[in-house]
Amino acid sequence: MSHNLPEERMSQLVARLRRAGLRATRPRILVLDVLDRAGGHLAADEVLARLRARGFRLSRATVYNVIHSLVSSGLVMIADTGPGRMLLEPARVWHHHFVCRECGSVIDVPCVVGAKPCLQPDLPGAEVDEAQVIWRGRCPRCVMRSATGGGSHAETISSGASTTVIDRRAFGRPGPMAERH
Ligand SMILES: [Zn+2]
Ligand SMILES: [Zn+2]
């Protein structure tokens, strides 16, 4: 477990923070790095757990404060996936989310417009900041699983381009096992 990021990576993160008008403190650099690496959506507690797993001793309060500053500066977005845990992701192109009702995975869906607001309401005189679309249904993986006759016992913790799936059937035991892919 490395306690230091490679220099090039470090200066890249520092530059991003400064461009957003933030002081490049070590906790900010580390949190941004974790969210980048995740390549998907993470809850704040998962960010904290990953930092600790990598040997960084940051308090929960520090991590939450850092997340707050990264969100207000626009470097990190809160993925709008409806009620439930707040999911974070590095701010990239404006997009929407598909939430699987069966396994809970959250999948990025490109926005056809690519900028806010991508929909205008029939509300003359209103000033719109953004429109958020959440698709709900069954993800391709769950549809495939039922089509091939396999029972579904998957629970997804969080996801995105990377999905964290707990598949009890695959491991043949009831305890949770995480698999990244
Ligand atoms: Zn699913
Ligand atoms: Zn997303």
Ligand nearest to the CA of 100: 1
Using the mean position of ligand 2's atoms as its centre, give its distance from the Cα of residue 79 in Å: 5
DSSP helix/strand/coil, 81: coil
Tens-of-pLDDT digits for all 181 residues of the chain? Answer: 455 789 999 999 999 999 999 999 999 999 999 999 998 899 999 999 999 999 999 999 999 999 999 999 999 999 988 888 889 999 888 899 999 999 999 999 999 888 888 888 999 999 998 888 899 999 999 999 988 875 544 444 444 444 433 332 332 233 333 333 3
Round to whole Å and give the CA distance between 28 and 155.
31
Q: Which ligand is nearest to the CA of 110?
A: 2
The encoded tokens of residue 75 equal 């470097």
CA of 146, nearest ligand number: 1
Query: What's the predicted TM-score (pTM) here?
Result: 0.72
